[in-house]
Amino acid sequence: MRSLRYVVLVFLLFSIPMWAVAHGTGQHVLGVVTAIDATHIEVKTPKGQSVSVRLTDKTLYKAKNHRMKTMPKVGDRVVIDAEKETTGLVATEVHFADSKPKPAP
């Protein structure tokens, strides 16, 4: 029984670094779009903070409903996956949905 504890402990010690690396250095920005143009997006978070994230030609856009437009608009809800750089946050993916979900039929 004692050796089983050591095996589990060793397994956990070796797997912790993998968990840390798997998440990467990315950050998430969650909120509602207050402004957007070709180079940046402003998001108001649930805590009331305004966060600016730079957009690039490599930024991917993923709509909740595939029939939606390819870019979010002011008022849409977003979750942005971003990388922290010296100039600030840079979006890698922008997941978005309409601010007012449509009622189910």
Fold of 25-97: OB fold (Dihydrolipoamide Acetyltransferase, E2P) (2.40.50)
Confidence of residue 31 (pLDDT cuts 50, 70, 90): very high
Domain spans of the chain, in order of start: 25-97
pLDDT tens per residue across span 33-76: 999 999 999 999 999 999 999 999 999 988 876 655 678 989 99
Please give the pLDDT value at position 13: 55
E strands along the chain, which residues?
A: 26-36, 40-44, 50-54, 60-63, 77-85, 88-97
Please give the average per-residue pLDDT across 74-92, as a whole number: 91
- Most distant CA pair in the chain, distance: 62
